[in-house]
Structure 1
Amino acid sequence: MSRSGRATGASKQDSGAFALSKSLYNLSLLHAPREPLADSLSGVCPVCKASGYLDPNMQFKINPTCYHSMCDTCVERLFGGNKGNNICPVAGCAKTLAYRNFRRATFEDLKVEREVDLRKKVMKIMNKTEDDFETLRDYNDYLEKVEEMTWNLILNIDVDATWNKLHRFEALQKADSNAATTKRDAGKTGGAKGTGQKDDGADLMFRGLKKYVPPPKEPPFDPWGGYNITPQYYVLQDNYDVDWYARMKKDSAHLVGGHSLQDYCDRALREAFGGFGVFIEDEIAARDAPSMSMDADVGTEHAAAAAMSGKEANMDDIF
């Protein structure tokens, strides 16, 4: 099978992609430090040296702070109850662990577990979609920058600077989505914030990113769907100075069962004035007006001629 040659002038690295892909490609060739994350879940606790072979019910837990595994007995003994936070008991690790963060590992390889957790954290912040960009190329550039920051965290390269950039981007997103609240708070504490330096996020701007447009405010619910039910020819009053109406208001026989005299008056007036919006003469004029269609005029003439002749029409004769 013959292979097609590379086009003239194409780059020999990374299939001729642009500079950002080259940097990401070089970053992916790096290897993580040889420092072990944990004693793999092989069945031996690195703290108490208990073996899962002797205790089949032993379960191992990890803490995402350092990803060192230990048996659940050691977790309860060192961190459970009211002991609070404590230093990791694994030799060489001085990180402070919290009891609430311990959980069972999803993957057997703890490096994969750590990478999945980091990607979840990054994607929770960098959650832009293709619809947020003007072109597909701009969206692909954004994805490559996100992947570059993710690999920096995985390989422990510029970790503090990368997390700082992610937290700043998250703060800018919240500020854009809550623009009205931010302006109101700035007006209340304008003197205090005026001395500080505002983060404009110039280094966090992505090419082709659309400006955030808040969704329109939903109108109040209208059960009539915008249809106006206000009567046009009468006004319903709260009370009427009529003898029989005054007696009915005091008679309990007319008020039992939740009966409303207001509804009775509304229905009576609606039935009395219901025909005021119907004008027969306008309908007759519209009916007698000549039609704009020529076929309709021809059909009307033939129908009038047949009616004047007094003869029965032969429905079988197509002519």
Structure 2
Amino acid sequence: MPPARDVIAHRGDDDEVCPVCKSSRYLNPDMRFLINPECYHKMCESCVDRIFSSGPANCPVAGCHKTLRKNRFRKQTFEDINVEREVDIRRRVMHILNRREEEFDSKRAYDDFLEQREEIIANLVHGTDVAKTESDLQKYASENMRSIRANQAIEAQEASSFREQQTQEQELARLRREAVRQEYENERREIMAGREDVLSRLAAGRPADAAAIAREGQKVLLKKSSARRSEEERIRQKQAALRNSDVKKSGPGAVSSSDKADDLGGSSLIKGLKKIKTPEPEKPYDPFMGYVPEKRDYYTLRDYYPNTYLDPVRQDTRMQAGGYDLQEYYSRTLMEAFAGLGCFIDEEISQRDIANASDISGPVATKGAAMAAVSSAGTPDASS
């Protein structure tokens, strides 16, 4: 006989009647009722198979003209059909309006977004201005498809990380329980072994040595327990360090701004979003930095470079009187050393080979014809 609380819980199910075939669960306890999120009208599974197996059809409930499909029918989760409908609407709206707090300029803007989302859900649940709300929702979804998908990917990654963390915590808890059980068994065996050792030594020794043997056995047990506690503390600290490192590494993956950027840079439905700035394209690198020697970013010109050849020149007044400047020599030498940064040898060789092939094709043929003419002309002279 089922418990009284089960009878109370399923008392309403016995009165359920299919609106199509008028079958009751009271007469057929194995009957399963299904609902469709298009209209949330409940009907039995046999009627669903009979009406919608051949394809989409209108809802058989009187007054409902919505087109239903068999693959959309599912079992009811909540007892109240209004709660079932609200949960489905909330899931659909939050699937589209899935903006995150870090995308807003301030906490107030994010709170306004949450309030606006709840208003949209309330309008759809209570049937207030449904056409305009659905139109705004669909327009937002089409304009912000990239950011919606990016946030969905982040949510999926966070859910996966949470499940992995839960699994890891459960495994750690199991290992801790196993370690505690193993520790208890080891400690019990050590105590029994210590007691047996003390009893055997007392049986083999003299009565005067009983107190000394007991004290020695107690010291051995204390030493073993202290060593065990030190090892446990070391293992605990190591596990804590590993958990901290895992928490730092298991943060949600960052999504690039290009994945979250929308075509319009924002939305007319949601206010307070951060402005997405498109980075400027990188300019081509100029290795020569113009013609000014001092404006180079790949080397720094110093005032002095140690050199056994240039040191005497620095002290020679005759060289200085003629206008010779070592700084100019340093600048020119460094510029010549780094001048190859703008040269791409592979490209130059390929271009040179192409140019040589186009230039040589004509002269080679001409040279071949000339050599043939010379050889043919020289043949009679040799015979004569």
TM over 0.5: no
Q: Highest CA radius of gyration, 1 or 2?
A: 2
TM-score, normalised to structure 2's length?
0.38
Q: Structure 1 or 2: larger helix share?
A: 2
